[in-house]
Structures are given as structure tokens and as C-alpha cells.
Structure 1
Amino acid sequence: MTNVAVINYGPKSDYAAMLPELAGRLHVFSHHELANTESFAHYEYVPDCEFVPYAELRIRQLAEEQPFTHLITDNEYDLERAARIREDLKIPGQSSGSALSFRDKAVMKEVARRTVPTAEFARLETIVDLTDFIAAHAYPVVVKPVKQGGSRDISVLRGAEDLLEFSRRHWREDLMVEEFVQGPMYHVDAVLAPGYRFVASSRYVRSCLGVFSGQNNGSIQLHPEDAFARRLEDFFDRVLEAFDTPEVSAYHLEVFHTPDDELVLCEIASRVGGDRIPALTRLTYGVDLHGSWLRQSCGLPVDPPPAAAPAQVHGSLSILPQGRPVRAPRRPPFPWVRRYEVNDKLAPGAVAQNSTSFLCFVIVGGRDLAQVEQRLLQAEAWLMEHLEEVPTS
């Protein structure tokens, strides 16, 4: 009998709606408190679930009473743990080696460079490893943890002063350095399974690292019939040729397009893209990335991806926290705005902590990337003009 363990992160995940056929056989351990859990076989809210081993211990204990047939997670930081449990309990799915190759950015680049270009990189044990790399490859360079996400804890060193400033920080044991690659960044988002293939390409409005210098960020979908979208999809396929991939998986690939017209791998993850990517995908293609991935991971059917080209594509843009007490304005007064949301949980005066930080965000539609970008910039200008200062008394 089907018996499913779930390690959840998303605060809005609704597994009863996503997996209704299996609701009474779900054993869910969640980083955030969830609604609509009454029908589950087992549910526990576990504070700091992704950081503590409780869920892994309990899943192993429960498996002694009734073996699990599937184990799923929506969280990148749980992919290795989930793979380890699967291997120990003989549950099919992504292996530990595969999970590591998509999680550890140094391993990832070692694997990927078999089939596609990557930036030069090195692991860092000491500051001398960093200075040696700079001597060999010159500034600018990017220093980041090998298993972090959302542009967290990334430093761009553009010269000797940046290096000195970086040397004042607490040293970490999980760092790597890589060349800074010039050019816009694109992302490819996909779900692949036997008999199922969905792939969509987008371009970031600005660099994901721009949030740390106050740049609002977001992404814009390419029309699937765009020649560059097809080129990105081909690059994605070549990347995956280098990896041990599970039978069913979601992917989020980030790619630089250099001034020399070369595509260079930034990163690839075996999970659904974050931020507004799932919402944009639903609006344009009617595809639920999480639902398609997790249902097929449990052996459940899904509707095939659309065969016809979409009538519109979409883009999103997030207004960053301003570092001062401000209130987000009302919805922008444009007919092509498809969605507008204000972050009512943001503390007054907050600053951007990572690439997903936002004061508010807007989603717009249009016939192609150029029109969507023009509309996003128009909405951004209106929102920035209408931010309201909040008295601090």
C-alpha cells in the first residue's frame, strides 16, 4: 500500500489538495505550520525542521511500523537528507550522489563542465586560496558558500579594498570562489518525468546580486517560440547529460549570456525555482510546477503540458525593502497588471536579506519579453513614485 513521507518547507503548501488520492496516507513534517492537515495520517509542525534531525528520526521510526513507498520534499536544503533516507529505507527516488551534485556548487561545476562551459572556480580553505585565485584570474571574483541559496552570503570582490573588507568577516569552512561572468542571466525551469516534459525559459530583469546594492529584481518569460528560448532549452539538455538524474525531478537552471554570445552555467538545482517563478508558470502555461513534480514523484497522473503556444507571457518585479519606514502603495492602475501583493510581514525599516526579499511585487502580462519588460519598468516607476513614508513618531 502506498505510504508517503513528506518533509515540507513551504508555508502555503496544501498537500491534501495537491495529492488528494493519498491524503490519508501522508506523514507530513513541516518547517512552517500548515492548514488543511486534518486528513493526513500523521502531521507535525517541527520548528526549524530543516535544521534539526527530528523529522529524519521519526520517519525512520514510522517506517519500522509500516514501510514508506515514497518520500518527497519541496525544499532544496532537505534534498540530501531525503536522498539519504531513501537509500537506507530502499525507497525509489533521487540518490545521495545525485542530490550532492545539485547541492554542492563546487561539485556541480565539476560535473557540469564535462558538457558545458562554467566559470573557473576553486574551493577555499584559507584566505591564501582566495588570493592565489585572484592572482591567477584577476578581479572581479565571487565568493559564496557551496550550499547556500537565494543569493545569501555572496560577496563580489572588485578590488583590493573589497578583499580587505572581506578579510574582516568571520571565515567560513564552506566557501568557494569563482570568476565573475559578465552578461545578463537567464533561468530555465523544468519538470521531467517518463512521458512528461515541461521546459520554460526566462530572463532576470537585473542581476540577482543587485538586491544588495538596492536594485529591484524580477524575471520575464521568453515566448517558447523565441529562438533564444530554444537555445536555452538545448543548453539545459546538455547540462543534464553530465548529471545522474532521478526518474522524476524539477530543475531550476541559471545561465549567463556573455558579451561574446556564449552560454555559461551559473548553477542548476533539482527543485522548483523560487520567488515568483511558480506563479508566472501557472499564469502562462497553466502548469503547477510543484504539483506536477510531486504528484509524479508519488506515481500519480498529471495533465500533459500544453501543446499550443501561450497567448501571453508574464513577468514579475519585486520592490525591495527600502531600509527606511515606508508603506507600499495601492495596486498600480494599469490594465495589464495581473497580480499585486504587499508583504505585510515586513518589519518597518527592513533591508533586503536575500534575492527573494520584497516590500511588494507586481506581475504583468504581454505578448513577448520586450512588451512585458516595458510594462514592468513602467509599473516599477509608478510604485517607487508612490511609496509612502511612515511617521516614526
Structure 2
Amino acid sequence: MSNVAVINYGQKLDYAAMLPELVDRLQVFSHHELKSTESFARYEYVENCEAVPYAELMIRRLARERPFTHIVTDNEYDLERVARIRESLGIPGQSTKSALSFRDKAVMKEVASRTVPTAAFARLDSVVELTGFIEEFGYPVVVKPVKQGGSRDISVLRGEDDLLAFSRTPWREDLMVEDFIEGQMYHVDAVLGDGFRFVASSRYLRSCLGVFSGENSGSLQLRREDAFAKRLEEFLDRTLDAFDVPPTSAYHLEVFHTPDDELVLCEIASRVGGDRIPALTRATYGVDLHTAALRLSCGLPVDPPVTTPPAEVHGSISILPQGRRVSPPGRPPFPWVTHYEVNEQLAPDAVTLHSASHLCFAIVRGADTAEVEKRLFETEAWLMARLAVRESAGPGWPES
């Protein structure tokens, strides 16, 4: 009989609905407080879960009484420790070697470069390696932590002034540098397992780094039958050929399309894409990426994805936190806006901390990528024109 340990991150994941066959055998340790946990075999909210080893220790202790058949997580930052637990307890799943290759961006690029183009890169032990890299490859360059996500703590150095400014910030021991790649950024989101294959491609509305210079973020889907979408899917397959892949996993691949029509790997992660990606995928294809990946990882059946082209595709636009107290607009009046949501957990004077930061977001539909893009810009303009400064917090707005 199955006994499943879960290290959860998602605040809205409903494990009882996703894994009803196993709900009374789920031992859940969660970064955030969850609802509908009464039927779990065990549930604990673990404060600062990512940084403390409590969940790992407890899973090992519980395994002495009743061995686990599966250990899963939805959190990229937990992949390595979950892999360590599996290996120490003899449980199948992603290995520590595999988890590291998808988590450490320097290892990732070294592995991926066997089968696909990547930017030139180097791990940094000191500023000497950084200046040496710049001397060899020139500006601009990108400096970032090897295991960070959401475009956090990334610096783009475009010249000597940027380098001097960067030299005044505290040095970190987990940095790498890579050549800056010009081009549009696409993402490919997939769940692959025994007898199951779902792959969908999308384009970011703007650079993920644009949020730190005040640009709103967004994503819009390509039709899967489009030639470029098929090209991106083939690039995913070639990328994964270089890796030690687990029997089942979700993947989030980011790819540059350069002005000279080359595809260059940015990053690949063995987890479900963040931001609005799961919602867009459900809206267009009826596939819940989290549910599919978790069920396959626990050996449960998943209905095969529909192969017929969808009637419409979707996109999202997220309005950034404004750094001041503003009143979010109401729902845009357009009939093709299928969902609108205000981030009621956001502090009134919050600033952008990562690429998924948002004050509010909208999802729109359209016949194809071009129509979705046009509607995203129209929605964005409507929302931005109606942001209003407010003097005090109201319902749903915590005081600073």
C-alpha cells in the first residue's frame, strides 16, 4: 500500500483533489498553510521550511515506522533534498545527480552544451574570474546566483560603470557569469512520463529581466501545430538528451531566439513553470501541470492530453507592484478577458522582488498568438490608465 511524503510549497495546491486515491496516506510538510488537510494521514505547516531541515528529518523518522513508496515536491528549491531522501531510503525517482544538474545553472549549462547551443559561461570564485570573462567575451554579461529563481539577484553589466557599481555590492560565493544573448525569449512547458507526453510552447511578452526596470510581465501561447512551436519542442527533446532524466517529471525550458534565427538555451528546470503558466495551460488544453506530474510520480493514472488543436490560445499580463499605495483597477470590460485577479496579499508599497511579482493580472483569449498579443497590450493599457494612488489601506490591503 502506498505511503507518500510531500514537501509542499504551493499555497493553493489541493492534494485531496489531485490525489484522492492517496489522500489518507499523504504525509504533508508545507511551506504555507493549506486548506482541506483534515483527511491527510499527517499535515504540518513548517515555518521557514525551505531553510530548516525539519521536514527531511521527520520523513526519515516516519520511514522507520512505515516505509514510504513515493516522496514528492512541487518546489524547485526542494528537489535536491527530496532526491537525497529518496536515495538514502531506496525509493525510486529523480536522483541527486539529476536534481543538481537541473538546479545548478553552471552544471546545467555544462551538461546541456553537449546537445544544444548555450551562452558562454563561467563559475565565479572572485572578481578576477569576472573581469577575465569580460576581457574574453566583452560586454554585456549577466551575473547571477547558480541556484536562484524568478530572475532574483541578477545583474546585467553593460559597461565599466556597471562593473564598478556591481563591485560595491557584497560578493556572493554562489555566482556565475554568462554572455548576454540578444533575442526574444520563449518557454516550453512539459510533463513527460511513461506513456504520457504533454508539451506546450509560449513566448514571453517581454524580457523576464524587464520587471526590474518597470516593465510589466506577460506570456502568450503559441499554437502547438505552428512550425516554430514544433521547433521548440524538438529543442526540448535535444536538451533532455544530455541529462539524466527521472522516469516522470515536469519541465520548464527557457530559450532565446536570436536575430540570426538560432535557438540558444537559457535555462531548464525539472518542475512546473511558475507565474500564470499552469492557469494558461489549463485554460487552453485542459491539462493541470501540477496534477499530471504528481499523479504520474505517484504511479497513478492520468488521462492522455487531447491532441486536437484547441479552439483558442491564451496569454497573461501582470501589472507590477508600484512601490506606492495604489488602488488596483476593477476587472477590464473586454469580453475576451477570461480571468482577472488582484494580489490581496501584497503590501501597499511593495516593490518588484522577482519576475512573478504582481499587483494584479489578467488572462485573455484569442484565435492565435497575434490576436492574444494585441489583446494583452490593450488590457495592459486599460489597467495602467486606471491605477489610482490611495491615501490609506482598504479591505484586502494590509497596512505597511
Q: CA deviation at 1:388?
A: 1.0
Q: CA deviation at 1:392?
A: 5.5
CA distance in 2, matches of 1:348, 1:251: 34
CA distance in 2, matches of 1:48, 1:218: 29
Residue 158 of structure 1 corresponds to 158
CA distance in 1, matches of 2:345, 2:111: 40
CA distance in 1, matches of 2:307, 2:346: 40
The one-letter amino acid of 1:248's match is: T
Q: Does 2:109 align with 1:109? A: yes
Alignment of 1:14-53 (within 5 A): 14-53=14-53
Alignment of 1:247-326 (within 5 A): 247-326=247-326
Residue 123 of structure 1 corresponds to 123
Q: CA deviation at 1:345?
A: 1.4
Q: Does 2:339 align with 1:339? A: yes
Q: Deviations over 1:245-265 (max 9, x none)?
A: 001000000000000100000
The one-letter amino acid of 2:98's match is: S
Q: Does 2:17 align with 1:2? A: no
Q: CA deviation at 1:324?
A: 1.8
CA distance in 1, matches of 2:327, 2:276: 21
TM-score for both structures, normalised by structure 1: 0.99
Q: Secondary structure at the match of 1:236?
A: helix
CA distance in 2, matches of 1:119, 1:132: 16
CA distance in 2, matches of 1:123, 1:234: 29
Residue 218 of structure 1 corresponds to 218
Runs of 4+ in 1 over 4 A off after TM superposition: none
The one-letter amino acid of 2:100's match is: L
Which runs of 5 or more residues in structure 2 are unaligned? 394-400
TM-score for both structures, normalised by structure 2: 0.98
Q: How many residues align?
A: 393
Q: CA deviation at 1:67?
A: 0.4
Residue 390 of structure 1 corresponds to 390
Q: Deviations over 1:307-331 (max 9, x none)?
A: 1110000000100011222111000
Residue 396 of structure 2 corresponds to none
CA distance in 2, matches of 1:333, 1:218: 19
CA distance in 2, matches of 1:156, 1:62: 46
CA distance in 2, matches of 1:55, 1:350: 31
Residue 96 of structure 2 corresponds to 96
Residue 200 of structure 2 corresponds to 200
Q: Secondary structure at the match of 1:88?
A: helix
Residue 181 of structure 1 corresponds to 181
Residue 376 of structure 1 corresponds to 376
CA distance in 2, matches of 1:391, 1:31: 33
Q: Deviations over 1:281-338 (max 9, x none)?
A: 0000000000000001000011110111100000001000112221110001100000
Q: CA deviation at 1:349?
A: 1.9
Q: CA deviation at 1:13?
A: 1.3
CA distance in 2, matches of 1:349, 1:80: 35
CA distance in 2, matches of 1:206, 1:125: 32
Q: Deviations over 1:158-187 (max 9, x none)?
A: 111111110111110000000000000000
The one-letter amino acid of 2:99's match is: A
Residue 138 of structure 1 corresponds to 138
Report % sequence identity.
74
CA distance in 2, matches of 1:146, 1:256: 19
CA distance in 2, matches of 1:8, 1:284: 26
Superposition CA RMSD, Å: 0.8
Which runs of 5 or more residues in structure 1 are unaligned? none
Q: Secondary structure at the match of 2:383?
A: helix
CA distance in 2, matches of 1:259, 1:149: 26
Q: Secondary structure at the match of 2:139?
A: coil
CA distance in 2, matches of 1:56, 1:119: 36
Q: Does 2:73 align with 1:73? A: yes
CA distance in 2, matches of 1:239, 1:247: 16
